[in-house]
Amino acid sequence: MVLRSLLAIALLTAITFSAESQKMKVKRKGVTPMDVTKNPPANTSMYSLNQFTGKWQEVSRADGRNNGVGFKDTLFYTFSDKGEVFSRDGVNMSLMGEALIDPGNVLVAAADVFTIRSMNKNEVVLDDGEYLHTLVRKNGFWYETLPTTEVVPEKLNTPVSVNASALSGKWKVYRRAAQPGTTDKVLIRILNVSKISNDNSASGDITFYRSEKLETLPCTITIDGSRMHISTEKNTWNFTVYKADGKDLVFGDASLMYYCKPL
């Protein structure tokens, strides 16, 4: 009888340990076990690209304190089921590009990179590091019903000599054009040129994405004819300028072009 009781206790202990082990992912000796029933780690994503298939239109925008802000550059996105996205930023030029979701709930939609804050079947909140954008699912966009004429994109392949004063102001990248196979992980989003010097140089700050994180750093800008050199304590960029007329700023290199509008 005593032997049976001991066997029963041992069996119950083994079952309990087995059940608990399903909840705990045991790591190497000396490391605290990880409970895999909790939220997924940062190197995974809670969302899939399939959830975005269809048309999405921005309906509201808020700043970092969740205060509503006015906007005219409404975001429109059409996600295909083949990993592509067609984007339109207000009245600016449309862009077809790659769509993907990186670890940490990061959505890459052609020229834009967001952190997905929340999402259900018909609404998504996207964070670009500056604003929270709320988009809703649409069957169609209002501008798709308007009469259209074929628009021929402006070909910018001739460098232009510029003066640093032509860069003055805050410029936001609304479009990027990359050659196939480009894998640049440091992507510029905003160039803020706040001070012009007499030696045809300037300074300000630059906002860019690095490893799915948005960073803003002070920068210096040097102009030499049509060449523009931007440097921070972490990065340097060398570009050719193709347009700088106060309304548009276009610069880039053989693999990646940036198209900017003033903010």
Half-sphere exposure of 23 (CA within 13 A, CB side): 6
For the whole model, what pTM was predicted? 0.52
Q: How confident is the model at residue 132 (pLDDT cuts 50, 70, 90)?
A: very high
Report the C-alpha gap between 206 and 239 in whole angstroms: 14
Report the C-alpha gap between 198 and 192 in whole angstroms: 18
* Domain boundaries, given as residue ranges, for the chain: 2-35, 49-143, 164-262
pLDDT in tens, 150-209: 444 566 789 999 999 999 999 988 777 777 665 566 888 899 999 999 888 999 999 988
Q: Is the pLDDT of residue 229 over 60?
A: yes
Residue 38 is encoded by which pair of tokens? 């909790």
Query: Which of the residue ranges 26-40, 75-89, 193-207, 227-241 would you say has the lowest mean pLDDT?
Result: 26-40
Q: What whole-number percentage of the chain has pLDDT above 70?
A: 73
Do residues 214 and 129 touch, judged by C-beta distance below 8 A? yes
Any idea what DSSP says for residue 151? Answer: -
What is residue 118's three-state secondary structure? strand
Q: Is the pLDDT of residue 216 over 50?
A: yes
Q: Do domains 49-143 and 164-262 have the same CATH topology?
A: yes
Domain covering 164-262: architecture: Beta Barrel (2.40)
Any idea what DSSP says for residue 158? Answer: S
Report the C-alpha gap between 218 and 233 in whole angstroms: 8
pLDDT at residue 2, as a whole number: 45
The correct CATH number of 49-143 out of 3.40.50.10490, 2.60.40.10, 3.40.605.10, 2.40.128.280 is: 2.40.128.280
CA-CA distances (angstroms) from residue 195 to 165, 168, 191, 203, 223? 9, 7, 12, 5, 14
pLDDT in tens, 86-130: 887 765 556 777 888 988 899 988 778 899 999 999 999 999 888
Q: Is the pLDDT of residue 85 over 90?
A: no
Do residues 163 and 142 touch, judged by C-beta distance below 8 A? no
Q: Is the pLDDT of residue 22 over 80?
A: no
Mean pLDDT for the chain overall:
78
Query: Which of the residue ranges 7-16, 48-57, 108-117, 209-218 would you say has the lowest mean pLDDT?
Result: 7-16
Residue with tokens 């053989």: 254
pLDDT at residue 203, as a whole number: 96
Among 44-58, 99-113, 219-233, name the most confident range: 219-233
Q: Is the pLDDT of residue 14 over 70?
A: no
Beta strands in 103-163 (DSSP E): 106-109, 112-119, 123-127, 132-138
